[in-house]
Amino acid sequence: MTKWKCRMCGYVYNPEAGDEKSGIKPGTAFEDLPEEWICPKCGAAKSKFIKVG
């Protein structure tokens, strides 16, 4: 699965791990995250993420 990196702080969203602190289950693709989801590290908007592979 494709990982996405926050351009503000460098946090990498790994779909295989999800974001359990935000209630996002493992296996959730970045594209399937709610639009209101924010970076759990710095609070940046989803639009601030870039695809990293």
Binding residue ranges:
6, 9, 39, 42
Q: Rounded to the nearest 5 degrees, what angle is found at the Cα of 27, between the Cα atoms of 24 and 33?
A: 45
- Please report, in range form, the residues annotated as the binding site for Fe cation: 6, 9, 39, 42
Structure tokens at 35: 């639009």
Residues with Cβ < 8 Å from 27, sequence gap 6 or more? 15, 16, 18
